[in-house]
Every structure is written in structure tokens, then in C-alpha cells.
Amino acid sequence: MKITSILTEDLIQVNVPGNTKDEVINAVIDLAANSQKIKDIDKVRHAIFEREKIMSTGVGKGFAIPHGKTDAVSDIVAAFAVTENPIDYQSLDHEPVRLLFLLIGKDSLVGAHIKLLSRISRLMNKEELRNRLLQAASSQEILQILKDEEINYLDV
């Protein structure tokens, strides 16, 4: 499954305001609420924050993957945000975060959820890609950057 098969322009936002980790996670969850696949946004929010309590999803290099699993979605949901300012996210490398890729999996689709997390991690490990995403001016531009990257560098 391609990342861009579940990510659409209405699930992407640039210049997301916020000054704290919780504020930007809430903002990207609110963005995900645009998906028709979400049945209960409060349960989604709870799943994401419960997962965050286990260990920070700030994986490093200015990037975080807040994620969780819940039956409050009918299928896997993704959202992507670029924050307005660098956020102290308690990341593994102690660096601030500006790129957030939210992934909400269905309890019964664990395999697909794990594969997508892996794909997102591999994709976002590329410094040049992260820089292009930080410079993007619109959700349309971000989606195109991700589509190009998936076509050129990842197995289908």
C-alpha cells in the first residue's frame, strides 16, 4: 500500500500553528477528522495520546509519526502536517519537530499499519525529501512531492 493512496490534499496542512507537542498533535488529529473513515474522533485522539505515553513518536531529524490503533476508524487514515514553528517533541534525538505524519490503524489491520509505518520511516529518512517538504507552500505541493518520491524510490 502506498502512502499517497491514503493521503489526500484535505488531510495535509502547512504552517500548522502551535507551540507545544500536544497542540500540534491535536491539530493533526483535527486535520484527520476530514477523513470519512473516522467514526469517532475522540476515540482516535485517545488512541494517539495513549500511544504517545508509552514512548515519544518523535523519531528524530525533525520528524514525528504520531500513531495508534483503534476500531474508531473504518480503514487506515493518515494526515500530514508541517508546523509553523519547531516544536519540542521530546524526540529520540532531542531535536525539535516540524514534520508530523499521523497514522491511525484499525485494530484488525495490524499488518498493513506496521508496513505503512515502516514505509513512512524509510521515506522520511531522506534529508533532501524532508527539506523539500519543509519548503512546500501548499498541501497540493506536499502531496506531489510524496507521490514523486514513492514513484522514484520505493517498491510498489
Q: Which residues are catalytic?
A: 67
- Those residues whose C-beta lies under 8 Å from the C-beta of residue 18, and which sit 6 or more positions away, are 24, 26, 27, 83, 84, 85, 87
Q: What stretch of H or E contains 139?
A: helix 139-153
What does DSSP say about strands 77-87 and 97-105: parallel, antiparallel, or unpaired?
Answer: antiparallel
Nearest to 143 by CA among 89, 82, 60: 82
